[in-house]
A = this chain, B = another copy of it.
Amino acid sequence: MADTAAPGHGRDYVHGYSVAEARRLGDQADTLAELLHAGTGYPPGSRVLEAGCGVGAQTVHLLAASPGIRLTAADLSAESLAQARARVAAQAPAAQVGWHHGDLHRLPFPDGSFDHVFLCFVLEHLPDPAAGLAALRRVLRPGGTITVIEGDHGSAFFHPESPAARRTVDHLVRLQAGAGGDGLLGRRLHPLLTAAGFAEVAVRPRTVYADGSRPALVEGFTLRTFVAMVEAVRTDALAAGLTTPEDFDRGVAELRRAAEPGGTFHYAFFKAVAVRP
């Protein structure tokens, strides 16, 4: 559920930087684009900052929903930024995008440079998300808005229920915590934005629920997004001594039953919009 790196944690990015990971992020973004981006649209000419654009998985949807904006896309990883640039060139060749390689905590832009700030799956990777929000508040003009989208792995539940599957999901949360992040960040958006000095903080869950009546969502979200994300931490979970190969694989196998006939899967993202006073 992430497409950027934590500042100072480029090598510890919990999901890794592989080609398979880049593809996973693309699949995920396409399946989820409507759910996550609905309601986000900026007027042409707006100065918009996407903080932590990663490989551009959300950037292309942002540009599709708000043609004519003047976007600055920033990321800590030069490699991700290059992928984002290629993706945007292919999918939104007419877009006006400035690319910034750097840390969102130390952006070189003057105070109030942007009308809107957008970030998706970024705060979950920051050791101090409140500090990240404060840094973003600085570059936002008074009256400008910030939009934040995060997942929350504690919102994942499924049928058939399975303690082995649940433990395997928990490994992901534990590894993310070990890398300085928080896989349960979605539920914290309201207090974090409030504490960072934003006003009119409005947070709503954006829920994905997939059952046998929605095979594309079962494939696109349950399997190719969520199960794939869990499977991707296998090596790290074993290296960290959290589990054995047998237990991990059993957990994944039981999680996959949520995508079989009779299975169901639930996950909640959280989307927040707030104003810089």
B-binding residues in A (CB < 8 A): 152, 154-155, 157-159, 161, 184, 187-188, 190-191, 194-195, 201-205, 207, 209, 211-213, 262-264, 266, 268, 270
In-complex Cβ contact of A205 among B202, B209, B212 (8 A): B209
When chains A and B are docked, how far (Å) is the Cα of A258 from the Cα of B41? 32
Is B202's CB under 8 angstroms from A213's CB? yes
When chains A and B are docked, how far (Å) is the Cα of A70 from the Cα of B135? 61
Given contacts A161-B187, A204-B209, A205-B207, 13 further A-B contacts (CB under 8 A): A154-B157, A155-B157, A159-B187, A161-B184, A187-B264, A187-B266, A191-B211, A191-B212, A202-B213, A203-B209, A203-B211, A209-B270, A266-B268
Nearest 3 A-B pairs (CB), nearest first? A190-B211, A191-B262, A159-B187
A202 nearest in chain B by CB position: B213
Q: How many copies does the complex hold?
A: 2
- B residues less than 8 Å from A268 (CB atoms): 207, 266, 268
In-complex Cβ contact of A157 among B152, B159, B209 (8 A): B152
A190 nearest in chain B by CB position: B211
- Pick 14 A–B contacts, CB within 8 A, sort by A: A158-B187, A159-B184, A159-B187, A161-B187, A188-B264, A190-B212, A190-B213, A190-B264, A195-B262, A203-B213, A203-B264, A205-B207, A205-B209, A207-B207
When chains A and B are docked, how far (Å) is the Cα of A213 from the Cα of B213? 35
A209-B205, A213-B203, A268-B207 given as contacts; is B157 within 8 A of A187 (CB)? yes
- B residues less than 8 Å from A190 (CB atoms): 211-213, 264
Is A213's CB under 8 angstroms from B188's CB? no
When chains A and B are docked, how far (Å) is the Cα of A158 from the Cα of B207? 16
